[in-house]
Amino acid sequence: MMTARRRWLVAMAALAIGLAAGAARAAAGPKEIPLTIEGHRFTPAEITVAAGAPVVLVISNKDKAAEEFESRDLRIEKIVPAGKTVRVRIPALKKGAYAFFGDFHPKTAQGRIVAE
């Protein structure tokens, strides 16, 4: 009887640890990636993310004019006011490259997200 009870206790402890670890990962949320707009350019111009995991871009605009983060590939548009920071949630992506640009300065504000 003692060994069966011990096995049950070990199994319950393992289950509790697994649940706690899963809750901690969920509470942590998606990875945040900083992205800066300065001189009408995105820095970094290329961002590498893990395929299959959502991320949040934390976009800081250091210019004196607003910019729009836009990606036709991702179907996302977000105005980033001058001197402000916005957060853009990117869903889990399949492997590949996804272009983005600044809609107000598309010749200079360009970049891409690479999901590996």
**Domains parsed from the chain with CATH numbers:** 30-115 (2.60.40.420)
2-34 per-position pLDDT tens digit: 577 777 676 666 666 766 655 555 567 999 999
What pLDDT is stored for residue 18 in this prediction?
64
Q: How many CB atoms lie within 10 A of CB 50?
A: 13
CA distance 26 to 24: 5
63-99 per-position pLDDT tens digit: 999 999 999 999 999 999 999 999 999 999 999 999 9
- Share the mean pLDDT of the chain: 89
Give the percent of the chain with pLDDT over 70. 82
CA distance 46 to 114: 7
- Model's pTM, two decimal places? 0.76
Q: How many CB atoms lie within 10 A of CB 32?
A: 10
CA distance 36 to 40: 10
Torsion of CA 100, 57, 44, 75, to 10 degrees: -10
